[in-house]
Amino acid sequence: MKKSYIKALVVATTLAIPFATYSTPALVALKAEANQSVVAASERTYDTEIKIYKDQKDEPSMVSQYIKNPKVAIEDVTPLAKMTQLTELDLPNNELKDITPLSNLVNLQKLDLEANYISDLSPVSKLNKLVYLSFVANEIRDVRPVIELSKKAYINVQNQKVFLEDTEVNKEVKVPIYEKDGEVSTKIRLKSDGGTYSNGVVKWSTPGEKVYEFGVKDPFADTGIFFTGSVIQKVVNEKVAEEVIEFKDVPKGHWSEKAINHLAKEKLFVGYGNGEFGFGDNITRGQVAVLIQKYLKLERNLEQKIKFIDTKGNAYEGAIESVAQAGIMTGYDNGQFRPDGVLTRYEMSVVLQKVFQLKGNEKSVENFTDVPKGHWAEGYVKALADNNISKGDGKGNFLGDDFVTREQYAQFLYNAIKK
């Protein structure tokens, strides 16, 4: 049987033991011991005995419990905040990021937090009884908070991995590693090709994942701090600024602004050509035909003639014929399409259902109080509602006979595209 240390907080997370219960002066150490059975890796299990010791004599007290298969990765040390009499705490190989609760453990003498995701040493800066502190293999970039502690304590902050946000080729990036005097580290060694270092600044001339090392293996003079690690950063070619299209008549922060900007960027909604979107205007049937034709990339079949008596020479003639040939929009009994006519919400539901082949949910009980049972558009309206494209006015009404404005249609179309 092989003995090894495991995570102390298994006591709290697996056994659900309230740590506050044990925050007594008698409690000075918390340890967890595990016996690993020698079996096939695929069948490996752990019989773990958790013990809380009341003094330095390793006499079990308060808790002795066996656990089968502990698979707890500790992320939160809040349960330890009231255990102010702890003198030793080992929590290596976990997923800790925020260790603020440990600032209450004023009697700690030994703290091992190796192999976590910790980036800030400030919470332990006032734990003046510490004589041993290990933050090996974390994400520390600044050791200034523990300089005073280092005058009497051994502090190991080696093998850090610091990840920076992406940068661009030939862009200067300040080294973010700070040593005991608050100055940027000058102990930099470039490990990737295409880089230069000068006066605290690194610059890469080629794209790719880049790495440089910092620190030395010997401790700082007059301190007990060992501080080494690597900085990793992805370098990309110069980014081309995304086209930003702003319409002067679309109010900032309006609920439709995101949808309008997205559709404009995709060259679907282009506005009136004078910097205005036409905010508040009712959308016309001809405009809807153009949007559909663009989105579906429909091509007009010149051999398939669909004649409308009011579209010849109209700016939208080609788009109208395309959507009519696709069976998405139709005309009226008198042979008109009415390209300049407005669109009701009922009519809009039909168009969007056909464009996106929307299906209603048979189990859904979504109903609008103002849509009569058996209404010709009932199924289309339900399909929009069940696909979260339209939820009506928020009061249970669909308002099907209301005309659709350009910003409303932009939002409906955006919702359908993004569903």
Instruction: Give the pLDDT band of residue 5 (cuts 50, 70, 90).
Output: very low
User: Which token pair is 277?
Assistant: 């979107």
Instruction: Give the pLDDT band of residue 329 (cuts 50, 70, 90).
Output: very high
Q: In the chain, where does the domain assigned CATH 2.60.40.1220 lie?
A: 160-239
- What pLDDT was estimated at residue 114? 95
- What pLDDT was estimated at residue 340? 95
pLDDT at 236 over 90: yes
Q: In the chain, where does the domain assigned CATH 3.80.10 lie?
A: 1-138
CATH topology assigned to domain 1-138: 3.80.10
- What pLDDT was estimated at residue 328? 94
On whether the pTM is more than 0.75, the answer is: no
The CATH number corresponding to 160-239 among 3.40.50.300, 3.30.470.20, 3.40.50.740, 2.60.40.1220 equals: 2.60.40.1220
Question: Do the beta carbons of residue 345 and residue 353 sit within 8 Å?
Answer: no
pLDDT tens digit string along 249-278? Answer: 999 999 999 999 999 998 899 888 888 999
Note the Cα 156 to chain centre separation in Å.
32
pLDDT at 27 over 60: no
pLDDT at 15 over 80: no
Give me the long-range contacts of 302-310 (CB less than 8 A, separation at least 24): 307/335, 308/335, 308/336, 308/337, 309/334, 309/335, 309/336, 310/335, 310/336, 310/337, 310/338, 310/339
pLDDT tens digit string along 171-229? Answer: 999 999 987 777 777 789 999 999 999 988 999 999 999 999 998 665 555 566 889 99
pLDDT at 367 over 60: yes
Report the mean per-residue pLDDT for the chain: 80
